[in-house]
């Protein structure tokens, strides 16, 4: 019987996956980032299911690895513009995190015209615990405001100025939650839209050790 997948083994398998040479003939000449990401994600999920018992997600349950204790969405993006989208559920995700972990693969793709194949190099791979998936600037300022003695009205005014997608009552409830339980410092850049737009440049460039963020592969190690 295959062992159950854990966060520790997920991280270890992501490291092994990134270390393997990625020669993908079907991506030769392909410039569509979504097509590249779909193939990489499929290959990594297959890599996992070959060795572990795990639950693979679908559009209905929202994230790629929804299993108990895993709760991780896989994101694959190009180093040229390291970003992706994520379903919008509620405004508080920007402050308290998305509600699930992220495993972010950032690749650099080059075509080998002689071999007629695409060559992929993972320049960054990071596991981000759900508590760290809030917006960097918003959580930084809110934490400062709480430390400086801000009240509910101050928090609501700041959230309104940031155009957080929520009505006045929801903003007031958020302000109370923030004062009672200040958010962890987030490390994503999250843009407001019908879907959240997640940007990962800060994660790619991160050099210091941060609890809740595991750098699996990066240019700095190459």
Whether 212 maps to a domain, the answer reads yes
Whether 46 maps to a domain, the answer reads yes
Whether 105 maps to a domain, the answer reads yes
Cα–Cα distances (Å) from 54 to 14, 48, 59, 181, 214, in that order, read 15, 8, 17, 33, 21
Residue 36 shares a structural domain with residue 143: no
Give me the sheet containing 83-87, strands edge to edge.
83-87, 195-199, 189-191
Q: How far apart are CA 169 and CA 167, in angstroms?
A: 6
The number of beta carbons lying within 10 Å of the beta carbon of residue 92 is 18
Residue 40 shares a structural domain with residue 143: no
Helix (H, G, I), strand (E, B) or coil at 142: helix
Mean pLDDT of 92-103: 97
Whether 169 maps to a domain, the answer reads yes
Which of residues 197 and 193 earns the better pLDDT score? 197
Number of structural domains, the chain?
A: 2
Render pLDDT for 127-144 as a digit per residue (tens, 0 to 9). 999 999 999 999 999 999
Residue 43 shares a structural domain with residue 146: no
- Residue 188's Cβ-count burial label (10 Å; 0-12, 13-18, 19+) is buried
Q: How far apart are CA 158 and CA 170, in angstroms?
A: 14
pLDDT at 219: 54
State if pTM tops 0.85. yes
Whether 40 maps to a domain, the answer reads yes
Residue 43 shares a structural domain with residue 106: yes
Residue labelled with tokens 């308290």: 96
- Residue range of the domain that includes 169: 137-180
Q: How far apart are CA 102 and CA 99, in angstroms?
A: 10
């Amino acid at each position: 019987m295959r062992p159950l997948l854990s966060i520790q083994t997920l991280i270890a398998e992501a490291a092994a996956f990134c270390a393997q040479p990625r020669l993908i003939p079907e991506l030769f000449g392909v410039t569509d980032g979504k097509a590249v990401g779909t193939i990489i994600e499929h290959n990594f999920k297959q890599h996992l299911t070959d060795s572990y018992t795990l639950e693979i997600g679908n559009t209905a349950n929202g994230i790629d690895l929804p299993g108990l204790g895993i709760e991780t969405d896989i994101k694959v993006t190009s180093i040229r513009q390291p970003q992706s989208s994520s379903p919008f559920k509620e405004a508080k995700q920007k402050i308290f995190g998305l509600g699930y972990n992220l495993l972010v693969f950032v690749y650099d793709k080059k075509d080998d015209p002689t071999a007629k194949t695409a060559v992929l190099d993972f320049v960054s791979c990071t596991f981000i615990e759900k508590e760290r998936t809030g917006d960097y600037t918003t959580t930084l300022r809110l934490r400062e405001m709480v430390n400086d003695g801000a009240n509910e009205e101050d928090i609501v005014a700041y959230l309104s100025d940031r155009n957080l997608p929520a009505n006045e009552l929801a903003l007031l409830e958020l302000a109370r939650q923030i004062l009672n339980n200040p958010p962890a410092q987030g490390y994503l850049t999250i843009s407001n839209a019908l879907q959240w737009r997640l940007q990962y440049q800060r994660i790619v460039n991160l050099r210091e050790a941060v609890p809740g963020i595991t750098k699996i592969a990066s240019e700095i190690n190459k």
